[in-house]
Each structure stands twice: as C-alpha cells, then as structure tokens.
Amino acid sequence: MFGVVPKVIWNKLNPADDTNMISLAMRCLLIEDGNRLILIDNGIGNKQDEKFFGHYYLHGTHSLDNSLNKLGFSRNDITDMVITHLHFDHCGGSIEWNAGRTAYKTAFPKATYYVAQQHWEEAMKPNAREKASFLKENILPIQESGQLKLIDEHFSLHDSIRLRFSNGHTGGMLHPVIQYKQYTITYLADMIPTQAHIPVPYVMGYDVRPLMTMQEKTEVLQEAAQSEKYILFFEHDPLNEACTVHTTEKGIRLQNQVKINEL
C-alpha cells in the first residue's frame, strides 16, 4: 500500500498486524439532490466465493445496505452510480446474484452506471499488472444490462459536480469534484487512498504509472492547499473520512480533519 516507503516509516501511520496486513475502508459517498441520488463507488460486494474473500479478511459491521437504510434509502433509490474505476474493491457491489444464484443482475436496477470510456477499454484488455483486479463478473453484466454509460472529459454529470480524470493508478480513473455549500470536495479514490498517503512519494505498489500518480497528487494537493474550503475525501482510510491540507516546511500536510455531514 505504500510502495517504496520503508515499513519502519509507514507502520507508524497505519500499523500492520502480525501477517503484515493493515485495515482499510471502502468508503462510498452519497449525494442527494432533488430527485437524484448519486452514489460514488460501491465497495467489494458479497457475491464472490469463500476462497476469494479469504484473501481480504473482511471485518467490521459496516455495509452499503445498512448505511443506505440508516438514511431511509435502498439500492432501488439510486439514480446515478458513478464508478471511479473497475478494480473489484470499488465496483464489486455493482452486480449481485439473482434469487436462485443462477445468474447475475445489477444491484442498482434504476441507476445509470457511469464509467470512463478510456478506463472501460483498458479493463476489457487489461495489462498483466491489473488483470487480477478486473473481474468479468463485476464488469460485463453492467454492459449487458443496458444501464452502462461510457463518458469522457466533456461529460457533465451534474451542475455541482465536475469530473476529474487521472491515469497514474489506472488509466481513466474518475474523481468527482463536488461543490457543496461553500466547499469543494474531491473524491480521491486510489490517487490518495488514505490520509497517510498525503506525502507525494507515498504511492501504492498497485499503481501502473507511479511517477504520474505523484504528479497528479501534486496538482490536487496544491489546489487544496490554497483554500481551507477545499476538502479531500478518502475512500480507504479506516479512521479519517476527509481533511483539509496546508503548506508546511516539509511540503503539503494535514491541516484539519473533516466530517462531511458536519459541514
């Protein structure tokens, strides 16, 4: 998760267990506006077999369904399903088994699923580094359902949401940038997966183009450091949901932690 950064350094930020594993979240973001209910990413899902989940040790009590239900919603209420990228921990919840477990179906039956055109094409012909992260059962049923919409940088999702694209972690990853009240909230996905990854050299070994990730991080962080109203939203941080940053003598670093529902 921290690439070339030595464990003696990153372990102070995200302590590993005795098997060298760390806890991570799969934090989605729900945006309600009038008749539209927009969900960004949907986690790993639950349709894979026991062997698959045996590699990832899911734990905790949180689930997408429970989180939606607490707000009075269900999957049937989602109108727009934005998928930042098609790695299984971000889109596995897109598809589920039917009642008889004989076929797959979309988990959000009334939603349009948005994926970047570039990223879809790369997922269809994956490189050797990413192949294990693109599971056909997470991807092809979306297309077969007729609910898929492939988009590019000219697409407008919403008046208050623009889409930023990055290519370091994977080609064509989407980053919704949301204007909310007086704030700008950027959904970072795997560009900066946790608060501990704010320092520019802290990039994951999963990234297909790590130097590009560093450049893309630098651009986002410089924008964010210019305003206390610019919020970075972390998908994988198990404890810290979001934060602001500022410039220090060591570079751009954490300023204040933020809870989105308290803004």
Mean pLDDT, the chain, rounded, equals 95
Average pLDDT rounded to a whole number, residues 204-222: 97
Note the pLDDT of residue 236. Answer: 97
Q: Is 114 helix (H, G, I), strand (E, B) or coil?
A: strand
Q: Tell me which residue has tokens 């797959």.
A: 104
CATH superfamily, region 7-262: Ribonuclease Z/Hydroxyacylglutathione hydrolase-like (3.60.15.10)
Calculate the alpha carbon distances from 122 to 42, 86, 88, 134 in Å: 20, 10, 14, 10
Note the pLDDT of residue 257. Answer: 97
Task: Count Cβ atoms below 10 Å from residue 55 Cβ, excluding itself.
Answer: 7
Note the pLDDT of residue 229. Answer: 96
- pLDDT of residue 140 exceeding 90, the answer is yes
- pLDDT of residue 158 exceeding 90, the answer is yes
- pLDDT of residue 60 exceeding 90, the answer is no
- pLDDT of residue 201 exceeding 90, the answer is yes
> Can you give the pTM of this predicted structure?
0.95
Strands (E), 76-202: 80-82, 95-97, 104-106, 112-116, 148-151, 161-166, 173-180, 183-187
- Domain limits, the chain: 7-262
Average pLDDT rounded to a whole number, residues 102-130: 96
